[in-house]
Structure 1
């Protein structure tokens, strides 16, 4: 699937920016002032591209947007992508990332490195999310000192101080829900809709701070079998359990979360954050990415 916006020509384009993920990618034709002239999205993520095919992929994008330099972020710089861009250790800011760009001269392409974290016994990594976070701060979409949440298959919680990313944590919330929905004892019971409502919020409250999350998940089956939970609400409740455990681990205490999300996930995380005593402020993730990637492009120029 390929989608575009207004289809204006490439004559005003200064460079091409690509948010190249695991399953999808989004390419932007960017003007000199950082605004998007056009954008396209397709399913040519790194899992769909062989290691030797990246030059041809860039050629196809340039055929649409013009023979322009490229800057790419995300899983394209991972061990599963094109070429590995070594992680920059946190704390880090845009200047740290720009100084460590992996430049491929023959393709006129730069790949943004991800971030790594070693904090006591914890180890964590990210690729791509850091561009959105730093971009949101640079564009004034979020304060310099903030807690960000980026829901997805692997949800990211990111802390910034003075505009630098000082810490982050990855939660496999979306992946765990997919696993319990499609495999094991709950398979076939979680086919109902997942939406905000009492079943979801009850799950959020049960999951928050639960030291017995595996027990809570089995309770979904028992509650349906014993008539305590309607079968149509089982998926929403199970989702609430996992998102509640995820959000509850942050101990928000009334803090405002900068939520880089839209659609269903934004609604679910907003509900969970508010249920557990926080406040959610939604930010346009595409605008944040553009601001972040433009900042990096400017720093390398």
Structure 2
């Protein structure tokens, strides 16, 4: 359905509705953030009947405005499913496929899918950040992006369109190893850049036998070849090294949509393996993506 003209001009509420967190912004007609709300009301904390009152609460805080929401709100776990747009895709393609909920004055941005040959992949939310980074001049029209997290995304853009996506369960694997299985209880130490992390990085980058490299964490501690407090940093290095090592980063620029510890660790990994990192502020990219997308919603 065609969104109302109110979504295409004037102030709006933009929502990055993730799995565990929610970030909402009041954006004026020029794309400037006037106010914002961040909380833990991600889709895992929501039932289907929770969305209408939750959006009403956002409007009480940010203004009685049209809402454009991206991320997991449009997934099968969210409020209403917004079907994926096949890659290659740009902001105009996302706008054409956006799901309009007229009764609530809400537009849900679809994600992007990749299905070429035997490989399949999907994403929701990251596409707004990537395309927003390009439209805001934070990255060129042809670029490689990395967005670390529970599920790390590697995203390729060509001519300001997303043409490929690869999702790697790096963060989730670390969390599972830490909580369950033979390494549980051994990965409670700090994870930071240092000798142990870089040794793990070197091991993981060249490992096609990831399972063996991970079991070595336990064996090295049992045989006093590694200090117990270093096990978590080493295991993190193995996983991140294996992730980055599978990409063609040598001699290339990677636009990193991250901050904090993960950004620091991935920067070390990418640069150690011969790549160059350009940091991109994910919030700025998201705001730019929604701001430029709403112009297409006027059609």
Q: Quickly name the TM-score band, shorter chain normalised.
A: over 0.9
The residue that corresponds to 2:41 in the other structure is: 44
Match of 1:147, SS state, is strand
In 2: Cα distance, 1:249 partner to 1:30 partner: 39
1:82-231, aligned counterparts within 5 Å?
82-231=79-228
Do the aligned residues in 1 keep the contact of 2:85 with 2:111 (CA within 8 Å)? Answer: yes
Q: Are 1:259 and 2:259 matched, yes or no?
A: no
Show CA shifts across 1:22-53 (max 9, x none): 11100001010011011110011111111012
Provide the TM-score with structure 2 as the length reference: 0.95
How far did residue 226 of structure 1 move? Answer: 1.2
In 2: Cα distance, 1:231 partner to 1:254 partner: 35
Structure 1 runs of 4+ aligned residues shifted over 2 Å read none
In 1: Cα distance, 2:71 partner to 2:32 partner: 20
Q: Which ranges in structure 2 are unaligned for 5 or more consecutive residues? A: 1-9
Aligned residues: 289
Q: Are 1:21 and 2:36 matched, yes or no?
A: no
How far did residue 209 of structure 1 move? Answer: 3.5
Show CA shifts across 1:233-292 (max 9, x none): 100000000000100010212111000000011001001111111111111000000000
Provide the TM-score with structure 1 as the length reference: 0.95
Q: Which ranges in structure 1 are unaligned for 5 or more consecutive residues? A: 1-12
In 2: Cα distance, 1:66 partner to 1:215 partner: 54
The residue that corresponds to 2:3 in the other structure is: none
Do the aligned residues in 1 keep the contact of 2:147 with 2:256 (CA within 8 Å)? Answer: yes
Indicate which of 251, 257, 277 corresponds to 1:280.
277
Do the aligned residues in 2 keep the contact of 1:73 with 1:127 (CA within 8 Å)? Answer: yes
Show CA shifts across 1:138-164 (max 9, x none): 000011111000000000000001111
Do the aligned residues in 2 keep the contact of 1:205 with 1:276 (CA within 8 Å)? Answer: no
Do the aligned residues in 1 keep the contact of 2:36 with 2:62 (CA within 8 Å)? Answer: no
The residue that corresponds to 2:54 in the other structure is: 57
The residue that corresponds to 2:75 in the other structure is: 78
| CA RMSD, Structure 1 to Structure 2 (Å) | 0.8
